[in-house]
Structure 1
Amino acid sequence: MKICMMTNTYLPHVGGVARSVSTFAEEYVKMGHEVLVVAPEFDGKPLAAKAEAMVERVPSLRHFNGSEFSVRLPLAAALSQRLDAFQADIIHAHHPFLLGDTALRIAMNKNVPIVFTHHTRYENYTHYVPFAEAMKEIAVQVPTHFANLCDGVIAPSESIARVIKKRGVTTPVKVIPTGIDVAAFASADGARFRQRMKVPEDALVIGHVGRLAPEKNLEFLAESVALFLKQDPAARFLVVGDGPGREALTATFAAHGVSDRLLLAGKRTGKTLREAYRAMNVFAFASKSETQGMVVAEAMAAGMPVVALNASGVREVVKDGENGFLLPASASAADFAAALERCAVPATRHKLAAAAQATSKLFSREESARRALEFYDEMRKATRARRLLHHLNPWTALVQRLGLEWDLLSTRTQTVAAAVFGDDEKKASGA
């Protein structure tokens, strides 16, 4: 099968969507399929020649609005030429805008089915753009509308599947998490990373991996872990990742007088990231905005119990009292610190860790890729009659293409107008 994946974020950018796309792409190639990834240009260490060969880069504006993200510019003719030569059997969009819109148009023009992965609850990221409050409604409506223009939707977790169906997605939805390399995480050399970070062999290490950003509930996490460190003078907190929340994180630890035990490792990828996970003993995660607890599954593969808040994407992985502790979303920082204390007890920690490793096997990358390929086949079969009609009747195809363009323009215009002017209209009408 020839699979074209279109995404607004990709390696060397470090993030959940980029890692998800690269994981699936690598597995598809291993299974004998051809993959073309269309993505913007990003700063960072270039990919290996073999990995970059399957990527078509499009020009982009770097560091959009002061963030780490790139926004693609109008597509170059070279992309059209490569897509023509590639002759995709299916288009897989990973965002509902920018290259997502392009994916819809290409699927229509090439007469192939399109699948969309709803990776993110976009309303949790509106603080990166102007008019954040008005954008929240847009961030809910645009992905929903986009999903209904696609042939199939992949949800990374049952939680997200329920959310998007409740919001009005009627397109067939399949739950498929991003897979992880279970064996690689389990066999990584954590001792080497501890030596690099000057962490004593016998020290208890609470760990966290992720972007240091407001949507990750870092203020709560920092307060919780700092309280725990005050109770255990030998413990450390190892943080892998970077972002705009770094200064606030360090300030919290300074306020509690435990700055010397906060270890900031920065961004890590590949083998070094796996070693960082294995250097930890307990994984702490407080985000309430996840679509899939990918880092939680990776932590479990590395042999760690997890302490987390009960939230979407996480509750599918963490089973309270079995492979970690899942606290209510309303839990206090003191409650979270107390759960970390329970995990600090060796007998409890080892029992939870064994169950955590067993759980991680349910999220292997091979199994996830197999399920995604099955879904592609389902969508190709389900759309075969419609595609044949398009092939035999170009006029019908033209009418539907014009309908797609009108649908994109009119629906998004209405959504923006409702978000920006909705409150004023209600006041004027006395609602």
Structure 2
Amino acid sequence: MMTNTYLPLVGGVARSVSTFAEEYRKQRHKVLVVAPTFEGRPPPKRYESYVERVPAIQNFNGSDFSVCLPMAGALNERLDSFQADIIHAHHPFLLGATALRVGASKNVPVVFTHHTRYEDYTHYVPFDSPAFREVAVNLSTQFANLCDGVIAPSESIATMIKERGVESPVKVVPTGIDIKAFSSGDGRGMRKKLKIPDDAFVVGHLGRLAAEKNLEYLAGAVGIFLKINPGARFLVVGSGPAEETVRAALTREGVADRLHLAGKLTGPRLAAAYHAMDVFAFASMSETQGLVLAEAMAAGLPVVALDAPGAREVLKDGVNGIQLPADAEVQTFAKALTQLHDDPAMRETCAMAARETANVFSKERCAKMALDFYAEVRRGTLRQRKEIEQSPWGTLVERLGVEWRLITERADAVVSALMV
């Protein structure tokens, strides 16, 4: 599994890779995760035992992300000794390109998970522009077509990438969650730690505090809600460059003193934070799956969110929460929160349905779906791999072909964007 983001970075892709890797290992599969180095507290040794770290530039362009440097010789040696049956790329660039090269060298099929709408993240590079966003779309589409199979984390994303021109076999496989871990938690203890009264109504949110998460909108809506409901609080789990955006929005409404920033949380502390909430609020339009929504639902939380890819696969309006139109005004979002605040019976009904919804996203079920797709891809590429294996120059020709396709596809992506 080759990824440009991984633990200790807390984010959707990192959590997806770690969740699948751990579940595969529990099912007696061998896993090697190739990921960049990150500054900060190192992950537990039990995770690092199957991770190969690549040197990387830290905090690229002021972000939390690392940019991988070219692979070291030691990494090649470890990959050579690891007898992979499948190579799973989690990004279409950097280590994603490396995944294609390794796949060609080892005559192993490559699967790619289209985790992200990459055009929503181009603000992390200094030369962001409409043309560059088009390049991001073209690059991810063309990379997908260089792979033997593509995983989409939601039906919305599967439909989108097919419309953009992805022709490789596509399978919808959400990232699984640990139902048992999130079904219980010391919410009261978390409230005490954060100085939130036991009887306060708590609106919660979890995620990276970044521009692409639509946090100015969310904080504006929650600010209006808090102003209407003096006893309510806002609990935010996560950190990032948009923290001040959240604080400023609540300050404008005069309710910043009821904002509780918990920072990054994992494990039991994360579960406790979910259980300290009464409702979960989410306004991101850039998600490709509703991972945090599923986690919140496993904790029995009704959800209020905007209609967007990923979220619509998890949230059912009037069943396990309230889904609002993508263009809903902040006042409308605030009214939805007030509706759940004022109707305990509705909250309880939605909470019961939320727990049932979460079961569909169990990590065991999702891991089996991914493993079944791996097997399907191996069967579909068997004849081609045998032909390459039997040819004395097969592997070399395949490797040169990958390099040529990477060069030409990238050039085409740039040219196509500039001609729009």
- TM-score surpassing 0.5? yes
Report the equivalent of 1:128.
Answer: 124
Match for residue 116 of structure 1 among 104, 112, 115: 112
Q: CA deviation at 1:396?
A: 3.5
State the AA in 2 paired with 1:176.
Answer: V
Give the one of 249, 252, 258 matched to 1:255. Answer: 252
Q: Do the aligned partners of 2:90 and 2:96 also contact (CA within 8 Å) in 1? A: yes
Tell which has more relative contact order, 1 or 2 (C-alpha 8 A, sep 6+).
2
Deviation of 1:109 (Å): 0.4
> In 2, distance between residues paired with 1:417 and 1:173?
26
Q: Counterpart of 1:426?
A: none
TM-score, normalization by structure 1: 0.96
Aligned equivalents of 2:180 and 2:398: distance in 1?
47
Instruction: Indicate the SS of the match to 1:10.
Output: coil
Distance 1:261 1:65 in 2: 32
Match of 1:323 in 2: 320
Q: Which residue of 2 aligns with 1:165?
A: 162
Which deviates the most, 174-183 or 46-55? 46-55
Instruction: For 2:386 and 2:150, locate their aligned partners in 1 and report how far apart those are by CA, in whole Å.
Output: 22
Letter in 1 for 2:141: T
TM-aligned CA deviation for residue 155 of structure 1: 0.3
Question: Aligned-pair distance for 1:343?
Answer: 0.9
Shift of 1:187: 1.3
| Secondary structure of 1:394 counterpart | coil
Question: Match for residue 71 of structure 1?
Answer: 67
The 10-residue stretch of structure 1 (96-105 or 259-268) with the greater mean CA deviation from structure 2: 259-268
CA displacement 1:187-226 (0-9 Å, x = unmatched): 1111111111011111100000001111111111011000
**Does residue 186 in structure 1 map to residue 183 in structure 2?**
yes
In the alignment, does 2:202 pair up with 1:209? no
Inter-partner Cα distance in structure 1 for 2:127 and 2:270: 36
Percent identity, aligned pairs only, is 62
Aligned counterpart, 2:143: 146
Secondary structure at 2:150's aligned position in 1?
strand
1:280 and 2:277 correspond: yes
**Matching of residue 9 in structure 1 with residue 34 in structure 2:** no
1:321-369 per-residue CA deviation (whole Å, 9 max, x = no partner) reads 0000000001000100010011112111111111111110000000000
* Whole-angstrom CA distance in 2 between matches of 1:22 and 1:130: 30
TM-score, structure 2 as length reference: 0.98
> What SS class does the counterpart of residue 35 from structure 1 fall into?
coil
Structure 2 residue aligned with 1:244:
241
Question: What is residue 415 of structure 1 aligned with on the other side?
Answer: 413
SS at match of 1:96: coil
> Aligned partners of 1:294, 1:341: CA distance in 2, in Å?
24
RMSD: 1.0
Which deviates more from structure 2 when the two are superposed, residues 370-379 or residues 130-139?
130-139
Could you tell me how far 1:292 is from its partner in structure 2?
0.3
Matches within 5 A, 1:285-304: 285-304=282-301
- Quick one: which of 87, 98, 102 aligns to 1:106? 102
Q: Is 1:95 matched up with 2:91?
A: yes
Contact 2:122 / 2:132 at 8 angstroms: preserved in 1? yes
Residue 377 of structure 1, CA deviation: 0.7
| 1:428 match | none
Contact kept in structure 1, 2:90 and 2:113, CA below 8 Å: yes
Q: Structure 2: how far apart are the matches of 1:310 and 1:127?
A: 23
For the residues of structure 2 that align with 1:105 and 1:125, how far apart are their CA atoms? Answer: 25
Structure 2 match to 1:427: none
Aligned twin of 1:332: 329
1:168-199 CA-partner distances (Å, limit 9, x unpaired): 00000000000001111011111111111011
Q: Which residue of 2 aligns with 1:341?
A: 338
> Corresponding residue for 1:47?
43
Poorly superposed stretches of 4+, deviation over 6 Å: none
In 2, Cα distance between the equivalents of 1:401 and 1:20? 29
AA matched with 2:355: Q
Contiguous gaps of at least 5 residues in structure 1: 424-431
User: Which position in structure 1 is the counterpart of 2:358?
Assistant: 360
Counterpart of 2:111 in 1: which secondary structure?
A: strand
The number of residues matched between the two structures is: 418
1:373 equivalent to 2:371? Answer yes
Equivalents in 2 of 1:301, 1:240: separation in Å? Answer: 17
Cα pair 2:106 2:395 within 8 Å, conserved: no
Q: How far apart are the structure 2 equivalents of 1:293 and 1:394?
A: 47
**Aligned match of 1:32 in 24, 28, 39?**
28
Q: CA deviation at 1:68?
A: 0.6
Provide the residue aligned with 2:76 in structure 1. Answer: 80
Cα distance in 1 for residues equivalent to 2:74 and 2:114: 28
In 1: Cα distance, 2:288 partner to 2:38 partner? 24
Counterpart residue identity of residue 273, structure 2: A
Say whether 1:392 aligns with 2:390: yes
Q: Which one-letter code corresponds to 1:407 in the other structure?
A: R
- Select between 201-210 and 344-353 the one with higher mean Cα deviation: 344-353
2:293/2:314 contact within 8 Å kept: yes
Residue 267 of structure 2 corresponds to residue 270 of structure 1: yes
- 1:398 Cα shift? 2.6
Q: SS in structure 2 opposite 1:42?
A: coil
Q: Which amino acid aligns with 1:350?
A: E
Tell me by how many angstroms 1:31 deviates.
0.4
